[in-house]
Every structure is written in structure tokens, then in C-alpha cells.
Structure 1
């Protein structure tokens, strides 16, 4: 790679990194080796009266699997995530076991708070001796006040310290990211910096979009901090992932980022590269320039998953969203996703084993 590709603003720079591990990406066209390792296990966290979404797992010191997930009441239908979601905690004895609901840990706080109307997009990490729950909140039940926040606790059972202000604000009017900050994806880099990838888009594009499928064009930016709590400084070359020059208003969302052997990997949901049903997997040597997307996982039909016909109100039936990995002994062992349907015809977690 060109040395200049690794140069960041404000004196930030990356060291040359190792070659990509063959176990993640393969020289096999558009299909990743990761996709070939997935075995569908089935649904988990089906809750009567609720939609379940955004399933983020972590193995606790008790050896059990702790799940942090979003839910909202079924009467709000699928759109309830934007104006009534709460973040909850459940526990299972092992990755394939049924989860037992424990409690609600973050709920909308009401007027006057930045997370007044929803708490969503949980992503749990163990960092610097404490548990870090990155999430999204909003204050008006709409997308234009979505902001990323960070709650922390010394135990997976809480109590959780909730922030009085968002971790990352949207950009100024007219910027590519002036609409919101959402879908947090976080790593602590080996150089000691804290890297926060975030999704956003431009308000004017969103409001004036003529796309019949998706308004605007979702892109990913990067913000970097010297401490966990920030401040997070946006990379001046943002967005670092931008598919807007491709046909069919191609874009992405729901990123999950991890590092292995000096390379960054990103799992996310496809929104027009291949279709709107698959997952994407990308690799980067420096977090700025990302390789061409490969297929990370497929839709339910590909895996011959038998489901009853969907009701008319489920418009995303058969696809898997919000990919999040479970790590055990430093290796990804299971992929948890969110999928519409299930025995209550709302939504639930759907689990894949990584063989």
C-alpha cells in the first residue's frame, strides 16, 4: 500500500500491518471464507408482546453468555425502534442455550434528555477494566436526533452509569453526517487510541431523495479519541466508507468491527451492493481504505430455513440484520443477528455457529 494511505490528520499515523489471515477472507471472488463457515442454529430471545433487535453478546466471568438487546412493545409494529425502544439484559448458560430475561438497563428518560424517546443499537465491550455499552438514543422520536452514547459499569449486572450528553454529535449543516450519529462500532486500537465508527447521512439528501427503497445514502465515518470517554475527533477524510458512486443508491449499515492480526474487519448489512438481504464483510489495513465487500452471510432462503408466510406488516422478512459476534478465548465463535418473524410474528435474535 502507499504509505500516504496510512496517514491521519492531527499527527495520527498507523504502523504497517500484517497480512490478512486466510481464515477470514479467501481469494474466491465475491464470497468470503467467513460465509462458508456459518451454520444456522435458530431463533433465540423470542418474547411475547415485543419485537427483539440488536443482540450484542459477551461471555461473562461466570462463563455464561450475557446478551444486551433492544426491545419495544409489539403494538408499535416494526417502527417502534425509533420511538420506544429500551435496552435489556438476558443470560444463557452457553451460546446455543435459551436466554433468560433479567432486566431493563436503559430506557427512554423522557423530555429534556438526549435519549428521551428511544435507547437502541447496544454494542457491549469489555474495555479498561469495565464494561462499555455503546448505544444510540434520540430525543424526538425521529432519526434527526439520533446520537451515540456510552454507558459503563464494573459488572454485567450493573448498575450502569448513563451519560448526560452524547458521545458523538452530528456534523454541521450541509456536512455528509449532519443528520445523526448511530450504529456504533468500536475498537481499542493497539496504538492505545479509541476508534469509533459511526453511520450517518446528509439531511438534504434524505429529505429530497426519490429512491423508492431507501432515502438518502448511508455512509460510515471514523472518530478517534485519546481516552475512552473522549472527546472523539472525526477523521477529516470522512466518510471512510462511501458506496454512493455505485448504482442503485448502494449503501450499508449495522457495522460490527474487530481487529485480528493487525487488520480490521467489518461485518455489516448490505443495502444494494449485492442486494438488500445479505451481509457484507470488508477488510482494511488502516481503517481508512477498505477492500471490496464480500458476502458475509445470506438470507434465510439460502439456508433452507422454513418459515410460515409473513404477515403483511413484516416488510423485511427473511433477512438478517444487526450482525454481532460472540468472542470466546479471543476468537469469534457465534454470529448473532436480528430477524423478523418467529412464533410471535414480531422479531427475535437468530443465531449462527462459526465452524
Structure 2
């Protein structure tokens, strides 16, 4: 049996997705708004800053829109402004994930704040400072009755790291939520125990999308016997009695990982969101992309997978990407691309 995501992939529109010539675009979560148009929430920071670590220091979440789900999407607004540094998300917001339930839009994301000067173009960010700010990552969720806002922004994180002694005692990041019809929400997040340790995924549950959340178990999910196996960037949804997830195969030391292709997508399912079964044909998507003009390229990265649902069916796969010979060695800016899915 083939992978149920991979077998639905169609050629990607060359002029689709969301791109800005003067900004790096990352992430990308799309939804159909109350106006019948399609809206994508993405992360961006200025091209003049370089790629580097500025996604931790100078990133903002923006909304772009299109009349068609594949785009192209046009920038419309910055969603959040910077605020007083005492707030967890004061200076930087990243990883947007947009959901709708019971008349309200829920925008999950992570934020950071930090002391010292805000780095600008040409400023070197030391590894020590980057690690310090990296450890400030916390998940939040903002709410609005309209896709256009105004957004009610939280003063406190949605879910905090636990105390030392737990595997997730440093950060909470990479949020992705599955909201059931009654509002019960399952939230996947990423964390690790200490600097340099393996990044892992956890699961928490709440009666409503805005919490309060409780971990379903003390241990991470997707525990692998091989320490070089690593997954990140999960996207979770619930359908037909099962939880589903696609995530990035981020294996280390050329071990081959789950799919055999670094940066490809992994597909898994679960009944309870704790015990997961990786599909027998695990690859959900590949960095080798077929475009609608007949060309085929190998993208240096495909990150932050997100699905657009219409009438309960997944219709489009969104991915942060860039051109280049090797991962993270981008030639020009990054952008968000879209792959239509067969729905029959």
C-alpha cells in the first residue's frame, strides 16, 4: 500500500505560494477565511539581515491572501507588533499555525524575548547569545473572531517547559494542534533536555484550543533506538477515528533515517496520540519536486509542512523552501511553496 499523502501529490505551481523579494519567508499555514478567500500566515525577516539566526531575533508573523488556494499570495499585514520585553513573545514571533473552531480563529506560534541590543544588518550573533535566546522559545495562541483580527494576544505562554529532570525542561516550540468537534485539542510541541541533546516531540491535551493543557505522558513520543533518528516540524490532524501526522525526517550523520532521504516527509497515525505507527511506506513528500511547467528540481530544504483543508479534506500541502545545492545554503530568499493534492 502506497503512502496516502505521497500518492496524492500533484505538480507544484511555479508561480504559486507566497514569496517576497526582500524577505526570507518561513513556515506557512493556510486557511479559508470568512470572506471566501484564502489566507496564509507565515514568518518573515528582512533579506538584508541574512538567514542565520535572525529567525530568533527579528522575525514577525504576517498574513497574505489569495483568491485561489495555490496562490500566488499577496502580503496584506503584519499580525503582531513588538511590545515590552517583559512578555514572552515581545521581540520575535515564529512558527504560525492557524486553526478555526466554533466561530473563533486560533493562531498558534512561538515567541521569544531577550535582553541587550536588537541585532541589525551586519551584526554578528554569537553562538552563546543565540543559545540563550533559543532557550527562551515559548508557545502561545492568539484568538480573533475575524481572519483580519483584531487578535487577542496572550500575556503568558500556552504551555511552559517543565522543571529540570524532564526531557522538555528547556523550551516549547513547533506547535501543531488537532481540534476535535467538541473542542478537545491535542497539541504537539518540540523540546529537549539540555543544549546539544536530541530534539524530541511531546503531546498535550486541553478541553479547548486555548487551554489549559496537560501532558498526556511524561515521555516524548516517537522514541527511536537509533540516536541519529530525529523528526521535527510536525503537522497533526484528526480524521476518520485516527490522528495523523506528517513531519520532517531530520536524521543525523547520514544514517538514512526513516525515509532514506534527509528532509523528506514522514507519515504516521495513532489512535490515542501517544502510540504512533509509522506507515510501511513512510515517505509523504520528497525534496525532489515536479513543477507544473514540467521541470523537476531538488530543493535544498522543505520545512514546516502544513495542510489546507476544505470541506474536511486535505487539498493542498504548504512547505517552506529555498533553492540551493545543500541544505540551508540558500541562493536568494526562501519562500512558501504549495503542492495541490488529488481529492478523488
Q: Aligned residue for 1:37?
A: 8
Selected match of 1:295 from 255, 261, 283: 283
TM-score (normalised: structure 1) = 0.81
Indicate the larger mover: 135-144 or 44-53. 135-144
Indicate the larger mover: 57-66 or 154-163. 57-66
Aligned to 1:291, the other structure's residue is in SS state strand
TM-score (normalised: structure 2) = 0.83
Selected match of 1:156 from 137, 147, 150: 147
Shift of 1:54: 0.9
Q: Aligned residue for 1:278?
A: 264
Aligned to 1:47, the other structure's residue is in SS state coil
Indicate the larger mover: 228-237 or 60-69. 228-237
Shift of 1:306: 5.2
Q: Aligned residue for 1:351?
A: 338
Q: Aligned residue for 2:232?
A: 253
Q: Aligned residue for 1:48?
A: 21
- Where structure 2 has 5 or more consecutive residues not aligned to the other structure, the ranges are 115-129, 252-256, 325-329
1:332 & 1:94 partners in 2: Cα distance? Answer: 15
Distance of aligned partners of 1:158 and 1:252 in 2 relative to their CA distance in 1, 3 Å threshold: same
Aligned to 1:352, the other structure's residue is in SS state strand
Aligned to 1:145, the other structure's residue is in SS state coil
Indicate the larger mover: 134-143 or 337-346. 337-346
Q: Aligned residue for 2:137?
A: 146
Q: 1:312-351 to 2 correspondence within 5 Å?
A: 318-341=300-323, 345-351=332-338
Distance of aligned partners of 1:220 and 1:88 in 2 relative to their CA distance in 1, 3 Å threshold: same
Distance of aligned partners of 1:157 and 1:190 in 2 relative to their CA distance in 1, 3 Å threshold: closer
Q: Aligned residue for 2:126?
A: none
Count, aligned residues: 306
Moved over 4 A (4+): 301-308
Distance of aligned partners of 1:254 and 1:354 in 2 relative to their CA distance in 1, 3 Å threshold: same
Q: Deviations over 1:196-223 (max 9, x none)?
A: 11111111xx34xxxxxxxx21211111
Determine if contact 2:319/2:338 at 8 Å carries over to the other structure: yes
1:255 & 1:172 partners in 2: Cα distance? Answer: 24
